[in-house]
A and B are shown apart, each in its own frame.
Chain A
Amino acid sequence: RKEVEQDPGPFNVPEGATVAFNCTYSNSASQSFFWYRQDCRKEPKLLMSVYSSGNEDGRFTAQLNRASQYISLLIRDSKLSDSATYLCVVTPARFILTGGGNKLTFGTGTQLKVEL
């Protein structure tokens, strides 16, 4: 079983739609969770962190369910510019500034295509 699993998609949605992605993780010791965005042929960029019961940033809402070991990302009023691959990222430790060991584990990503 992969450490972090995501539905690869693609999710094709019309502009203005609401779309949700889920991500499951296998390591119950995971403490910190993130969503990154990766545009085609570009580097990943941090979209938002997910802490405790989740958080909201504009049109984006991330939620965490520790009991079921999954994270979700909800995008409301989707824009054409939201088209990208969304990467779920987990790590076993929280805020520890040490070398090595506390690595980020990336999912393979969910591709979103927002269409006119």
Chain B
Amino acid sequence: SAVISQKPSRDICQRGTSLTIQCQVDSQVTMMFWYRQQPGQSLTLIATANQGSEATYESGFVIDKFPISRPNLTFSTLTVSNMSPEDSSIYLCSVSSGTSVYEQYFGPGTRLTVT
């Protein structure tokens, strides 16, 4: 499976600021996704990061709040904009390749605390 890294691994940010999270994969992958895991809850898909085009967002998530870039097949960024304490969460990127989009492999996550 692909090796996935995320930066930063954790951060503490002030309300109203923005944070950009990077996801780097050691090989080219077809699909990349961004998830959020809030304390005590399961994973929720934020969006699918599409290479060369705008990301596809899930219900409840908008581009202005979570802009995503994917300039190539190995890299993506997620920005959490104008943060509030409710954005405190773990943000994970995941990738899939080959014919099965459902066998996803996750990065180690970015633990974000907003004060």
Give chain A's interface residues, CB within 8 Å of chain B: 4, 32, 34, 42-46, 49, 87, 91, 95-104, 106-109
Partner of B56, one of A4, A44, A100: A100
User: How many whole Å from B36's CB to the nearest CB in chain A?
Assistant: 11
Question: In the assembly, what is the distance between CA of A34 and CA of B101, in Å?
Answer: 12
For residue B40, which residues in chain A have a CB less than 8 angstroms away from its CB?
Answer: 108
Q: Interface residue tally of chain B, by bracket?
A: 20 to 34
Q: Is the CB of B99 within 8 A of A97?
A: yes
Q: Is the CB of B100 within 8 A of A95?
A: yes
Q: Is the CB of B106 within 8 A of A44?
A: yes
Main secondary structure of the interface of A (DSSP, over half): loop
User: How many whole Å from B91's CB to the nearest CB in chain A?
Assistant: 11
Question: In the assembly, what is the distance between CA of A7 and CA of B30, in Å?
Answer: 34
Q: Is the CB of B92 within 8 A of A46?
A: no
Q: Is the CB of B42 within 8 A of A43?
A: no
Partner of B105, one of A32, A46, A99: A46
For residue B58, which residues in chain A have a CB less than 8 angstroms away from its CB?
Answer: 103
- Also in contact, A46 and B104, with CB within 8 A (given A97-B30, A104-B45, A108-B42): yes
Q: Is the CB of A108 within 8 A of B41?
A: yes
User: How many whole Å from A108's CB to the nearest CB in chain B?
Assistant: 4
- Among residues of A, the one whose C-beta sits closest to the C-beta of B45 is A103
Could you say which of B42, B45, B100, B101 has the most chain A C-beta atoms within 10 Å of its C-beta? B42
For residue A96, which residues in chain B have a CB less than 8 angstroms away from its CB?
Answer: 101
For residue A109, which residues in chain B have a CB less than 8 angstroms away from its CB?
Answer: 42
Question: In the assembly, what is the distance between CA of A49 and CA of B104, in Å?
Answer: 11
- Among residues of A, the one whose C-beta sits closest to the C-beta of B111 is A41
Partner of B102, one of A44, A45, A91, A100: A91
Q: Is the CB of A99 within 8 A of B99?
A: no
Q: Is the CB of B50 within 8 A of A95?
A: no
Q: Is the CB of B102 within 8 A of A107?
A: no
Q: List 15 A-B residue pairs with CB atoms under 8 Å apart, sorted by A's residue number.
A: A4-B42, A42-B108, A43-B108, A43-B109, A44-B92, A46-B103, A95-B100, A95-B102, A96-B101, A97-B30, A97-B99, A100-B50, A104-B43, A104-B104, A109-B42
